[in-house]
Amino acid sequence: MNCLPCDQKYAIHYLRWMQTRIENLKGLATLRLNDSENDFLAGESMDNWTVIENAFIEMNSGTISDFGSMTKCPSNNAGFKIIDGTGRFAMPAFIDSHTHLVYSNDRSEEFQMRMKGHSYKEIADSGGGILNSSKLMKTSDESELLELLLQRLEKARENGTTAVEIKSGYGLTLETESKMLRVIQKAKSLVPQKLWSTFLGAHALPESFKGNHDAYVKEVCQKMLPFLVDNGLLDFVDIFCEKNYFTPAHLDQLSEAANKFSIPLKAHVNQFSSSGGLQAAIRNEAWSVDHLEFMTDKDHLDLQNAFKSKSSIKKPIPVALPGCSLFLDIPYTEGRKIIDANLPLAIASDCNPGSAPSSNLSLCWSLACHKMKLTPKEGLAALTSNAAYAVGAEKIMGNISVGMQANLILTKPISGIAFMPYAFGENNIERTFIAGR
């Protein structure tokens, strides 16, 4: 495989290792973490941002070493690269905790069919949808898939995303799922972003198992999963728990298999119906419950109960995917209701060719405010600190705090933090810093 241009490009990033200070910022947004019991921000605490006016921030050896008001800014510039932040804001960078970024062709033809009135389900039932991407995946060249993934990650970085979870799920055979996960593995060493790989073998039923979901789940749990773990190819497992896809009982089986290898579970639940996926994910201690567009009152209560125990076990953070709601024209996750019940909420892009072909988290921030009625600050918490919790990275990223990885967004000159979601569809990010570079 010849990936020299990418290798060289990213090597240059890694070699630029210096201390950096951004001065004269119009504002710097940092979260006040005063609830030591939780590693996530729930309810009102999602609004707990302080915006320090006329601020500076220092980054050293990849982490945040100091920040505060310009009145306390050190005057020693020796060894520092100084950046003038006049008129600009600094804030923690975005973390995308749910994507399907490995694919070859887009599915814009299906989009045109939907615009003519065909539903996502109709298209999937007639061989389109996930199976369409799966057909293409089988014949896709591994190095081309990698190149496409690197381009998508570069675009995400320009849009402020500094850490990304990426799922397989268009392979649906051991061979092709392995290919997708190898592509993610290779990308981990080539891009500046932190990446996590998730095995989503239980995404759709392949043609070869037609009519036999149980046998396919057995294959996923007993054959694919152990092989992929043996080869060090995954950080999480995931399942699409939905009518016509996989059942809560299948989720139980996958969780049991993953537990043997201590691999945490994530789950696609309640995207098109309320059919027990959420409850299965909760009882199996999933790290996140993603989608939640179709929630009954009982589903909301069960989710609230999952957060009642005071113990320090990992809680199933709800992850809303507003880009998917926009694109498929389905309900938005009731983020306002979830936060008002004193729960945390994370937001991710779900970027994939079929239900959310955009990795733009600034746009998701706008949708969170305009459509889910979050405040701009709650939206930022959902894209940073709470998104970090969804991938278990809350101790190292997701806030501006001394000792955390220096992953920041430096905006263009704007009036305030709220301008970011207010000006929907614009990119007001001037620079993205990853580990201080």
Our CB check for Fe ion shows the closer of 200 and 374 to be 200
Biggest CA–CA distance in the chain, Å, is 70
Contact between 242 and Fe ion by CB under 5 A: the answer reads: no
Binding-site member from 152, 157, 250, 268 for ligand NIG (CB under 6 A): 268
Q: Which of 91, 130, 153, 224 binds ligand NIG (CB under 6 A)?
A: 130
350 near ligand NIG, judged by CB under 6 A:
yes
**Considering the complex, what minimum distance in angstroms separates the CB of residue 137 from ligand NIG?**
11
Among 85, 92, 129, 322, binds ligand NIG (CB under 6 A): 129
Which residue's entry shows tokens 């009135």?
117
Distance CA 396, CA 385 (A): 10
Residue from the set 58, 242, 299, 350 that interacts with Fe ion by CB under 5 A: 350
Tokens standing for 253? Answer: 């089986």
Angstrom CA distances, 198 to 43, 322, 337, 348, stand at 28, 21, 29, 15
Q: Which of residues 353-372 bind ligand NIG (CB under 6 A)?
A: 353-355
- Closer residue to Fe ion in complex, CB, 41/320: 320
Token pair of 375 as six digits: 């405040």
Angle at 239 between CA 234 and CA 245, to 5 degrees: 145
Give the Cα separation of 161 and 155 in Å (integer). 9
The first and second tokens of residue 178, run together, are 């392995």
Least spacing, CB of residue 316 vs ligand NIG, in Å: 17
- The SS3 call for residue 82 is strand
CB of 131 to ligand NIG, least distance (A): 9
Name the minimum Å distance from CB 269 to ligand NIG.
10
Cβ of residue 193: shortest distance to ligand NIG, in angstroms?
Answer: 20
With CB under 5 to 8 Å by kind, the binding choice for 405 among Fe ion, ligand NIG, none is: none
- Interface stretch with ligand NIG, choices 9-17, 60-68, 346-354, 379-387 (CB under 6 A): 346-354
User: Which residue of this chain has its Cβ atom nearest to ligand NIG in the complex?
Assistant: 354
Strand partners, 82: 21
Q: Least CB distance from residue 324 to ligand NIG, whole Å?
A: 5
Q: Which residues share a beta bridge with 267?
A: 289
Can you spell out the DSSP letters for 96-159?
E-------SS--HHHHHHHHTT--HHHHHHTT-THHHHHHHHHH--HHHHHHHHHHHHHHHHHT
Shortest distance in whole angstroms from residue 326 CB to Fe ion: 14
Footprint on this chain of Fe ion (rule: CB under 5 A)? 350
Footprint on this chain of ligand NIG (rule: CB under 6 A)? 100, 129-130, 133, 240, 268, 271, 324, 350, 352-355
